[in-house]
Amino acid sequence: MTDTRETTQATGQDHGHDHGQDHGPLSYRFLTLIWAGLMVLTAITVAVSKVDLGFMNVAVALGVASIKASLVIFFFMHLKYENWIIKGMVLTAFVILAIAIGLTFVDVGYRY
């Protein structure tokens, strides 16, 4: 079964990936730097877990994890070069996740 109309429609609206190609592939040097950054952040997470900061342990761990996730999503997964609608969708997912984690702490943070 072929559908020429749908094919035209799909390619006609396929702006998202064009953006990625406009910027060309990211250089190995740049990607290696990002990877090194991720390694440093992992080391920070491990190091902080050995110090007792009370409730801040969780905050730091979640903060570092968020930065790491952002680096992966923006550069390895090319979100930085996508159009606003894709960025908006990922942001929505992130906000919902943040709210879910935040509301869980309404319980954990106030338990006897």
Footprint on this chain of other proteins (rule: CB under 8 A): 1, 3, 5-6, 9-10, 13, 85, 92-93, 96-97, 99-100, 103-104, 106-112
Shortest Å, Cβ 30 to other proteins: 29
Tokens of 52: 């007792």
CA proximity to 44, closest of 81, 12, 36, 75: 36
Closer CB to other proteins, residue 28 or residue 112?
112
Residue number with CB closer to other proteins (33 or 97): 97
In whole angstroms, the minimum distance from the beta carbon of 29 to other proteins comes to: 33
The letter for the amino acid at 42 is T
Q: Nearest distance from residue 27's CB to other proteins, in Å?
A: 31
Q: Which is nearer to other proteins, 46 or 85 (CB)?
A: 85
Min dist. Cβ of residue 102 to other proteins (A)? 10
Q: What are the CB-based long-range contacts (under 8 Å, 24+) for 42-48?
A: 42/68
d(CA 43, CA 39): 6
Q: Report whether 71 contacts 35 (CB < 8 A).
A: no
